[in-house]
Structure 1
Amino acid sequence: MEKGERKNVYQVYNKIGDWFAENRYADSVERAYLDAIIEQLPPIASMLDVGCGNGKPILEYFITHNIRAVGIDGSEKMIELARNNFPDTRLMLLDMRQMQLGEKFDVIIAWHSFFHLPAEDQPAMFEVFRDHLKPDGFLLFTSGTERGEAWGMNGGENLFHASLATEEYRLLLESNHFVVLKHQVNDPDCGGANVWMAKYKPQ
């Protein structure tokens, strides 16, 4: 099996964007995690969807709850689809590793996006997440369970995934002043996702 783009996986989504939009499960299996966060947010809240894709279902879910939603994605195709779906929402073509928005949010979500980064690029992202969160802000992301790389076919393209070890993620969260609220391994109700939910608690 031919392996493809490793460093900038978002470029693959330029090729498979339409396929992804058609085949991404429509029901929000992430809803239990999203609801757990939404019920704790202040009356006027904001969220940042890192790797927002076409905006469905996560960005859409926050919009329907009257939360100011902002999305970024490195793929031109996915941002185009998201803008078609949500023309009134602020959406930016941006590599998450280059994120310097100069603002802070109540929630940052990197669902099935962060794990496309090479392992060597992942640790620095926790500083980026931290710098874009308000105190007591929430971080929700998915990862693997052990250090390594994996490839998976999607829409005829081989997609790269990488992970650090679970303990590495814990240490990165702690060193950036996050408190882990939940770590669910292979959630059967969520497509087998490995989910981290944390809260930013600056000292």
Structure 2
Amino acid sequence: MNRPEDLAALAARTAEIYQRNAARFDAERARVLFERDWLERFAALLPAGGSVLDVGCGAGEPLAAFIIERGHAVTGVDIAPAMIDRARARFPAAVWTVGDMRTLDMGRTFDGILGWHSFFHLRPDEQRATLPRFAAHLNPGGVLMITVGPAETEVVGRVGDDPIYHASLAPDEYRRILAALGLRIVRFVPEDPSCDQASVLLARKRDGP
């Protein structure tokens, strides 16, 4: 499945795959919180009680749960209704919305945006178009944390028994795009061995013009 047309077809099935696999994904999702160090870095840059948009929030555990437990107001968005149903049942005080990050328009801004193991399901051109949407939804000084890849690539992973699409731009391209949007990369670690080999990018929006 390395032909461009095959990868494009697979990318178009992301919502369907997560919807069908919601129960299994939630049951098999690791709760050991290997992401803790990165979440702590993200949370340390938020104001007390700050607002966080969790894009591709899944069923709300463990990442949204971590943020909620630290007193932040979470709004979760996911493309799969079955995921949102599970998140809403767990954390009814938070805001949960079915939506597509590619057309993100929340009508408000946030102190932080988290796109953990979700943003990288977008095709390269979709990532380039979505980063400005993220920047537009951030308050001055706001924080963005996304998982990407270590280099420019398109690969196939798995959710349940289904193949699933992943892509990444080159790190230098992320840096250029974010800089043009007024965000500075605070930390980027490709294939972090302390975080289950996730490639994590943490950026912050400048405070003023």
TM range (shorter): over 0.9
Matched with 1:180 is: 185
1:183–1:115 Cα change, 3 Å: same
Matched with 1:162 is: 167
Matched with 1:133 is: 138
Matches within 5 A, 1:46-195: 46-195=51-200
Q: Is the 8 A contact 2:48 2:71 kept in 1?
A: no
Instruction: Indicate the RMSD between aligned Cα atoms, in angstroms.
Output: 1.5
Q: Is the 8 A contact 1:83 1:89 kept in 2?
A: yes
1:14 to 2, 9, 19: 19
Q: Give 5+ residue unaligned stretches, structure 1.
A: none
1:35 to 35, 40, 43: 40
Deviations 1:24-56, CA, capped at 9 Å, x for gaps: 110221111111232332223110100000011
Q: Measure how far apart 1:176 and its partner are.
A: 0.7
Deviations 1:51-91, CA, capped at 9 Å, x for gaps: 00001111111111111011000011111111121122100
Q: Give 5+ residue unaligned stretches, structure 2.
A: none
Q: Is the 8 A contact 1:110 1:142 kept in 2?
A: yes
Q: Which AA in structure 2 matches 1:42?
A: P
Instruction: Give the match's secondary structure for 2:10.
Output: coil
Bigger mean CA offset, 120-129 vs 7-16: 7-16
Q: Measure how far apart 1:153 and its partner are.
A: 2.3
1:189–1:175 Cα change, 3 Å: same
Instruction: Give the match's secondary structure for 2:38.
Output: helix
Instruction: Give the match's secondary structure for 2:134.
Output: helix
Q: Measure how far apart 1:8 and its partner are.
A: 4.7
Distance in 2, matches of 1:159 and 1:40, equals: 32
Alignment size in residue pairs: 203
TM-score normalised according to structure 2 size: 0.92
Q: Which AA in structure 2 matches 1:189?
A: S
Q: Is the 8 A contact 1:5 1:12 kept in 2?
A: no
Q: Is the 8 A contact 1:7 1:117 kept in 2?
A: no
Query: Which structure 1 residue ranges, 4+ long, deviate > 4 Å from structure 2?
Result: 1-4
